[in-house]
Amino acid sequence: MIKVGIIGFGKMGQIRYDSIVNRSDINIVAISEPNKDIVVPTNLRVETAKEIIKRSDVDAIFICTPNAFNKTYTIQSLDENKNVFCEKPPAFTAKDVSEIIDHETKSNKKLMYGFNHRHHDSIIHMKSLIDSGVFGKVLWMRGRYGKSVNKAFYNNWRAKKAMSGGGIFIDQGIHMLDLFMHLTGEFDVVKSLVSNLYWKLDVEDNVFAIFENTKSGVTASLHSTMTQWRHLFSLEVFLEKGHITLNGLVTPSGVYGSEELSIAENRTIAPAGTWSKRELITYKVDNSWSSEADHFINAIKNDTAINIGNSFDALRLMRMIDKVYDKGEIDG
């Protein structure tokens, strides 16, 4: 039985709670949430995160707080010999993540980050197809991920850079970039434009970025936006012998529509755009949250490695994010 504490019981804390509460190998013993208006399950509420971190009967901690607290609580938890699952982003910079890894190494505990999109069934299938080589090599990718916000967003902690570390890119675009790297590997060239033309906040409302791996030749373009006036997720991968396109994403809010994976193989001679094999798969159930929990809990129970969402994945990703923000020409 693994005894768990949850720090933060907003939207993400509640999602993580729901993903583990009915497991026979988990006992949730404490939850900290500073907002008294948020209802915490009976007898589990404690006053502070520190109480959970210091408790001797807690084996693992889920950190589900605003971004600014992720690094501090992760380090404190590792130093108290706790296994840690932390929401993204892991910190604000790659340098911060390197510091976290030092504490992880000394603790010899499990550390996993919530790069949830890797655990969607559609992404798992997409990854297996790419790795199989049946479509040949990846040529290029395109990702669009965005949503609509209103003026109420000004009151959200995500609109304040000191709390969030950035805008829409570190909030949502980080998932798309993580998928690019998950599917094809790292990039060594980054070009970007970071814009806050519309909302005029101290965080960006748009990022346009191009990534290139000069060794493999793979190029990927990413648009992360909160001036799209609708919720949209689209990931396209074009390969030598076909293309794989994911439109929509099944999420707890349901705002991204149905999750449809289109797979096309063996294009006819140009300019005709027909394919000898074409398949459309619709995913109606979101298994990603339970999949993540399984990976984390099993790693603790069996003393196995975190293979998806480990700290080195986080470090490589944050290096790319640093480049996007550093090289982005601020417009607005």
If you search the block for the tokens 């604000």, which residue do you land on?
Answer: 92
Count other C-beta atoms under 10 Å from residue 49's C-beta: 24
| 3 state DSSP class of 227 | strand
Chain-centroid distance, C-alpha 311: 13
Q: Is the dihedral of CA 187, 193, 198, 202 positive or negative?
A: positive
pTM for this model (two decimals): 0.95
For the domain covering 117-285+318-331, report its CATH number.
Answer: 3.30.360.10
User: Which residue spans of the chain are classified as CATH 3.40.50.720?
Assistant: 2-109
Sheet with 138-148, strands from edge to edge, namely 275-283, 259-267, 242-247, 227-239, 138-148, 219-225, 206-212, 189-195, 329-331
In angstroms, rounded to a whole number, what is the distance separating the alpha carbons of residues 324 and 185?
Answer: 17
Closest CA to 179 of 234, 231, 257: 234
Round to whole Å and give the CA distance between 77 and 84. 7
Instruction: List the one residue out of 26, 260, 17 whose CA is nearest residue 120.
Output: 260
Q: Digits of tens for pLDDT over the chain (332 positions)?
A: 999 999 999 999 999 999 999 999 999 999 999 999 999 998 999 999 999 999 999 999 999 999 999 999 999 999 999 999 999 999 999 999 999 999 999 999 999 999 999 999 999 999 999 999 999 999 999 999 999 999 999 999 999 999 999 999 999 999 999 999 999 999 999 999 999 999 999 999 999 999 999 999 999 999 999 999 999 999 999 999 999 999 999 999 899 999 999 999 877 666 666 777 889 999 999 999 999 999 999 999 999 999 999 999 999 999 999 999 996 544 43
Q: Is the Cβ–Cβ distance between 6 and 61 less than 8 Å?
A: yes
Which CATH architecture does the domain made up of 2-109 adopt? Answer: 3-Layer(aba) Sandwich (3.40)
Q: Helix or strand or coil: residue 283? A: strand
DSSP string, 92-148: SSHHHHHHHHHHHHHHT--EEEE-GGGGSHHHHHHHHHHHHTTT-SEEEEEEEEEEE
Q: Is 30 exposed, middle or buried (0-12, 13-18, 19+ CB in 10 A)?
A: buried
CATH 3.30.360.10 residue ranges for the chain: 117-285+318-331
Class of residue 210 by CB neighbours under 10 A (exposed 0-12, middle 13-18, buried 19+): middle
Q: What is the largest CA-CA distance in the chain?
A: 67
Distances (CA, A) of 173 to 57, 119, 159, 309: 37, 17, 15, 16
Sheet strand arrangement including 83-87: 45-46, 26-32, 2-7, 60-63, 83-87, 111-114
